[in-house]
Amino acid sequence: MSVIPKTSRDQAESLFSKSRTQSMSLNRIMSERDAVSQAREAKTARLRELRLEKEAEAAALAAPASKRASKA
């Protein structure tokens, strides 16, 4: 078996194919990273809202109790 050298066109097509594959992989990775980031931001916002609601409820429950203690 003898090795047939690639023509310059074959080499160019090979390099282009490799470059295109790398570009598609990079785009996929960036899309996945963006999706993870958006999911994290949404979860953080939801948890922040829940925490603020809980703190507001605690403050509302504590406020009447402190008024009663000051009147006594």
Output the tens digit of pLDDT for each of the chain's 72 residues.
Answer: 455 667 999 999 999 999 999 999 999 999 999 999 999 999 999 999 999 999 999 999 988 766 655 555
Rounded CA-CA distance 70/64 in Å is 10
- The letter for the amino acid at 65 is A
Rounded CA-CA distance 70/29 in Å is 60
Asked whether the whole model's pTM tops 0.85, one would answer: no
Please answer whether residues 14 and 6 qualify as being in contact, where contact means their C-beta atoms are separated by less than 8 angstroms: yes
Residue 20 is encoded by which pair of tokens?
A: 């295109």
**8-state DSSP, 5:** P
State phi, psi for 5 to the nearest 5 degrees: -65, 145
